[in-house]
Structure 1
Amino acid sequence: MTNSIEEIGDSDCIFIIGSNTTENHPVIGTYVKRAKQKGAKLIVADPRVIELANKAEVYMQMLPGTNVALLNGMMHVIIDENLQDNDFIRDRCENYHQLVDIVKDYTPERVEEITGVSADSIRKAARLYATSEKASILYAMGITQHSTGTDNVYSIANLAMLCGKLGKDGCGVNPLRGQNNVQGACDLGALPNVFTGYQPVTSAPVVEKFEKAWGVKLSDKPGLTVSEMMKSAHEGGIKALYIMGENPMVSDPDTKHVKESLEHLELLVVQDIFLTETAELADVVLPASSFAEKDGTFSNTERRVQRIRKAIPNVGNSKADWEIIVDLMNKMGYESHYNSVSEIFEEIASLTPSYAGITYERIEETGIQWPCPTQDHPGTKVLHKESFSRGKGLFKPVAFQPAVELPDDEYPIILTTGRNLYHYHTMTMTGKTEGLMNIAGENYIEINPINARKLDIESGDFVKVISRRGAVEVKALVTEIVDENVVFMPFHYAIGSVNMLTNSNALDNITKEPELKVSTVRLEKSEIKKPKRVENAS
């Protein structure tokens, strides 16, 4: 996030796109509701009528995969009506004229044809965002999990710069991370092209710095993303894979392809706290400790580095992740010894400029937001206040490109995926909680009443959902939350898994992120019968 969570509660306008905030990020959702109670205006763009859509001044029910067109349409209106922040553009941005050239063709009427959102709603949303003093954009994986995910993010940044809503309190471009330490994992180099603090592996001085610190020769070539790893394993390129705290047999697209890829490996090692669907395929399972059994730090969605503390003894033979990794390094010939997690953090700070001023003593009670370059620096609440990291902000205008898979006669319905309130990721933990399973114990598909009537389907009936990659049978939930010819399934469930249906070949050109939010399917009424209701005897 460029800004901070608490600022959301003080925003005048909040634009939520590609995020079901109250279900996926319920704590942050309370800040949105608090802002609304204080008079903030709310804009929501989502294929489903999520809870916040009913509270919005403008709700735009868009077709999945049409984010760039919608955002270009809003920018067209802002420029056409001279609502842009000309001073901010002149002083702090470049490449503005190219943006004008691209978005001039995205009239609200043309965008309505692409997105299904009315031209009037596009105009209203654009005016509301542009004229609000403190306007914040919140987004999540409804933006990034597309073959055009990078273009979607560029477009959000373009909109914020166009209106001068960066570097100011209550504003910003604020991606909401999907899990509690995703930000920290990325910060510390769990990406194929960077070391810690996003220092590129292709930079000779950076490589030299880490080689000196670690006493080894390092590659200057970027590694593979998850989707590229699976493809390589399937083709026999990768021979061994070490998976930590991840369950791709449920979370990754095209489960059949994932299973075949993992089975092609000569060695699969899984490190986790439970025997997941992925761990069941492993040659070796390393039992790791949960968050409650270890010390360390998490870096949350607002860049805040926070302490976590061991609350209970380790269960069984489990170890903290860092202890397992150090043991492996030593057994594989790299001598490495740490006496505590604080020693590891000291090394992180010494090599990572954005973390350089953070110490365990400073975050004993309250976390610090990076960048924090020195130990007398308070941390950074709002990014880009004076300038952008590259100097001037670069407009990166993009034209709309449709999703890779579009409806046709054989697969006429768009399938989109997401989460629900009751489960976390692939249910590794929540699936073992009786109360949650009583509420949401099996997978389902949301179907518009018009599509349901065509198949004579009622809520509770089983439906066969078929894509080019597979088929599953799940219960129907007939609802107007989704539009006609759009269906939704959560991805949490291993039984009736939606990722049996999704596409592993539709990837973003830059990030290689799969297009999980847009696949095409057809529906058939299942032979599985709805359980009969049994009346209590009186």
Structure 2
Amino acid sequence: MTNSIADIQQADTIFVTGSNTTESHPVIGAQLKRSVRNGSKLIVADPREIPLAAEADVFLKIKPGTSIALHNAMMNVILEEKLQDETYIRENTDNFDELAESLKKYTPEYSAEICGVDADKIREAARLYAGVDKAAILYCMGITQHVNGTETVMSLSNLALITGNIGKPGSGVNPLRGQNNVQGACDMGALPNVFTGYQPVGNPGALEKFEKAWGVTLSDKAGLTVTETFKAIEEDRVKMLYIFGENPMISDPDTHHAEHALQKTFLVVQDLFLTETAELADVVLPAASFAEKDGTFVNTERRVQRVRKAVKPPGEAKPDWVVFMDLMNRLGYEKKYNDAEEIFEEIRKVTPQYAGITYDRIKGRGIQWPCPTTDHPGTPVLHIGKPARGAGLLKPVEFVESGELGDEEYPLVMTTGRILYQYHTRTMTGKTEGINNMAPEVYVEVNPELAAAKGIEDGAMVKITSRRGFVTMKAKVTDRVEKGVLFVPFHWESGANVLTNGEVLDQYCKIPGLKVTGVNLEKMA
């Protein structure tokens, strides 16, 4: 997040897009609802009528995968009605003229046809966002899990920049992280192209620094993303896979392909429980949970926080860092750490954003990076004064329809997401009786008009087919989705990700288009 969670309370307008916030991020969702009840205006854009839609001043029930057209149309209105921040654009952005030219065709009427919403609602949303002093954008995987996800984020950045909604409280472009330490994992270089603190592996200066710190020779070549790795296994370019804290048998696209790859490689899984992925492993390493170890987590607002051991790990389970250290030493790199704090001290030395953060300083609420020195208070809001690169780059992006759509054999579009009562791949929530009573099984949401046309009643078993395979589940007939759209929560095995496409990826970050899948639907006998 460029801003802080508490900033939601300061926003005059909040634009939530691609995020079912109250179900996927209920703590932030509660703050969001409080802000709206205290006077903030709310715009919600989503293919489903999520609970937050009832709180919205403007709800845009867009077709899956059409966010770029919507954002471009909002900017078209802003420029036509001269609602942009001319001073901010002149002093803090590059490439405005090219962006403005690219937006001319995206009139509300043009984009309304693409998005399946009313043109006047697009105008209303644009005015609500641009006509106030402070407007915040909140988004999640409904924006990023598309083959043009990176460009969709660029379009949100454009929207914030042309209205001057960067670098001040109550504004910003704020991705909501999906799990408790996703931000921390990325910060620590758990990405294929960077070291800690997003220092590129191809940067000679960064490479030299880490080689000196660790006393080894390092590769300057970027590695593979998760989705690329499965393809590389099939092509015999990857022989061994080490997975920890992840369950790709449920969360990855095209489950049958993922399973085949996992069975082909030598697989090591390090996790709390014997997940669907761990059941395929050659070696399982039992890991300690958050309550069974010391360390730090970093939350969605970049806040580095202490985690303290409350109970002993069961059986042979160990903290992740102990498992990694033991394995590292057995592989010939001799290095011993006494505790998690000693590792954090090493992190500080090689990561500029963390240099001023110490265990002593984060005893209480934690500190938001960047924090370059020990007398620095941390950074609640990024890009104050000027964008970090000196001038914010306005990047024209065009709407392109997903290749999954337009096939007569698969005329419907399936989108996926989370629900309140289950979490991610149910590794933990699936073991809780009360939660399973509330949400016991996978289902598909079907519009009443589509259900009637296919003779499907609420609770009936249906078959959903895509180019990858088929699944069967109960139908939930509801007008939360439009006639041509199905929604399937991804938490269960033999669910949504059996159908999704893992072949076509975002050209920049290699994310698959999990949110748009061409499917067919039929009632089972």
Partner of 2:243: 243
Residue 210 (structure 2) pairs with residue 175 (structure 1): no
Partner of 2:269: 270
> Following superposition of structure 1 onto structure 2, how do residues 391-410 of structure 1 map, counting pairs within 5 Å?
391-410=390-409
Distance 2:515 2:74 in 1: 22
Residue 362 (structure 2) pairs with residue 369 (structure 1): no
- The residue type equivalent to 2:307 in the other structure is I
Alpha-carbon displacement from aligned partner over 1:289-321 (angstroms, at most 9, x marks no partner): 111100000000000000000010110000000
Are the counterparts in 2 of residues 236 and 264 from structure 1 also a CA contact under 8 Å? no
Unaligned runs of at least 5 residues, structure 1? 528-538
Residue 416 (structure 2) pairs with residue 417 (structure 1): yes
- The residue type equivalent to 1:189 in the other structure is G
Partner of 1:332: 331
Alpha-carbon displacement from aligned partner over 1:59-80 (angstroms, at most 9, x marks no partner): 1010000111100000000001
Offset at 1:401? Answer: 1.1
- The residue type equivalent to 2:271 in the other structure is D
Are the counterparts in 2 of residues 3 and 174 from structure 1 also a CA contact under 8 Å? yes
Partner of 1:91: 91
Distance 1:430 1:81 in 2: 49
Partner of 1:191: 191
Are the counterparts in 2 of residues 251 and 491 from structure 1 also a CA contact under 8 Å? yes
Offset at 1:10? Answer: 2.0
What secondary structure, in the 3-state scheme, does the structure 2 residue paired with 1:9 have?
Answer: helix
Residue 480 (structure 2) pairs with residue 481 (structure 1): yes
Partner of 2:498: 500
Are the counterparts in 2 of residues 298 and 307 from structure 1 also a CA contact under 8 Å? yes
> Following superposition of structure 1 onto structure 2, how do residues 30-109 of structure 1 map, counting pairs within 5 Å?
30-109=30-109
The structure 1 residue matched to 2:521, chosen from 515, 520, 523, is 523
Offset at 1:387? Answer: 1.6
Distance 1:57 1:204 in 2: 51
Offset at 1:407? Answer: 3.4
Partner of 1:288: 287
- The residue type equivalent to 2:443 in the other structure is Y
Residue 35 (structure 2) pairs with residue 9 (structure 1): no
Partner of 1:228: 228
Distance 2:16 2:234 in 1: 38
Alpha-carbon displacement from aligned partner over 1:154-185 (angstroms, at most 9, x marks no partner): 00000000100000110000000000000000
Partner of 1:491: 490
Partner of 1:531: none
Are the counterparts in 2 of residues 99 and 397 from structure 1 also a CA contact under 8 Å? yes
What secondary structure, in the 3-state scheme, does the structure 1 residue paired with 2:336 have?
Answer: coil
Distance 1:165 1:314 in 2: 46
Offset at 1:208? Answer: 0.2
- The residue type equivalent to 1:483 in the other structure is E
Distance 2:403 2:274 in 1: 35
Offset at 1:454? Answer: 1.3
Alpha-carbon displacement from aligned partner over 1:448-499 (angstroms, at most 9, x marks no partner): 00111012111111111111111111010000000011000000001x3211
Distance 2:350 2:407 in 1: 52
Offset at 1:133? Answer: 1.1
Aligned residues: 525
- The residue type equivalent to 1:81 in the other structure is E
Offset at 1:91? Answer: 0.6
Distance 1:170 1:83 in 2: 18
- The residue type equivalent to 2:315 in the other structure is G
Distance 2:64 2:406 in 1: 12
Offset at 1:351? Answer: 0.4
Are the counterparts in 2 of residues 407 and 414 from structure 1 also a CA contact under 8 Å? no
Distance 1:5 1:319 in 2: 33
- The residue type equivalent to 1:523 in the other structure is L
Q: Percent identity?
A: 61
- The residue type equivalent to 1:132 in the other structure is V
Distance 1:15 1:334 in 2: 49
Distance 2:221 2:235 in 1: 21
Are the counterparts in 2 of residues 412 and 522 from structure 1 also a CA contact under 8 Å? yes
Distance 2:497 2:205 in 1: 42
Unaligned runs of at least 5 residues, structure 2? none
Partner of 1:439: 438
Distance 2:207 2:264 in 1: 33
Distance 1:274 1:262 in 2: 18
Alpha-carbon displacement from aligned partner over 1:511-535 (angstroms, at most 9, x marks no partner): 00000000011111123xxxxxxxx
Alpha-carbon displacement from aligned partner over 1:2-50 (angstroms, at most 9, x marks no partner): 0000110221100000000000000000111111111111000000001
Residue 428 (structure 2) pairs with residue 429 (structure 1): yes
Distance 1:390 1:14 in 2: 25
Are the counterparts in 2 of residues 147 and 404 from structure 1 also a CA contact under 8 Å? no
What secondary structure, in the 3-state scheme, does the structure 1 residue paired with 2:150 have?
Answer: helix
Are the counterparts in 2 of residues 155 and 398 from structure 1 also a CA contact under 8 Å? yes
Distance 2:81 2:508 in 1: 34
What secondary structure, in the 3-state scheme, does the structure 2 residue paired with 1:487 have?
Answer: strand
Distance 2:405 2:456 in 1: 24
Offset at 1:390? Answer: 1.1
- The residue type equivalent to 1:487 in the other structure is L
> Following superposition of structure 1 onto structure 2, how do residues 292-371 of structure 1 map, counting pairs within 5 Å?
292-371=291-370
Runs ≥4 residues deviating over 6 A: none
- The residue type equivalent to 2:434 in the other structure is G
Distance 1:89 1:292 in 2: 47
Alpha-carbon displacement from aligned partner over 1:265-300 (angstroms, at most 9, x marks no partner): 1x1100001000000110000000111100000000
Offset at 1:263? Answer: 1.5
Distance 1:180 1:28 in 2: 13
Are the counterparts in 2 of residues 274 and 428 from structure 1 also a CA contact under 8 Å? yes
The structure 2 residue matched to 1:509, chosen from 507, 510, 521, is 507
Distance 1:402 1:29 in 2: 30
Which range moves more in the overlay, 402-411 or 246-255? 402-411
Distance 1:252 1:22 in 2: 24
Give the RMSD, CA atoms, in angstroms.
0.7
- The residue type equivalent to 1:479 in the other structure is T
What secondary structure, in the 3-state scheme, does the structure 1 residue paired with 2:306 have?
Answer: strand
What secondary structure, in the 3-state scheme, does the structure 1 residue paired with 2:343 have?
Answer: helix
Partner of 2:257: 257
- The residue type equivalent to 2:430 in the other structure is G
Which range moves more in the overlay, 181-190 or 50-59? 50-59
Alpha-carbon displacement from aligned partner over 1:107-152 (angstroms, at most 9, x marks no partner): 1110011111111011000011001111100000000000000000
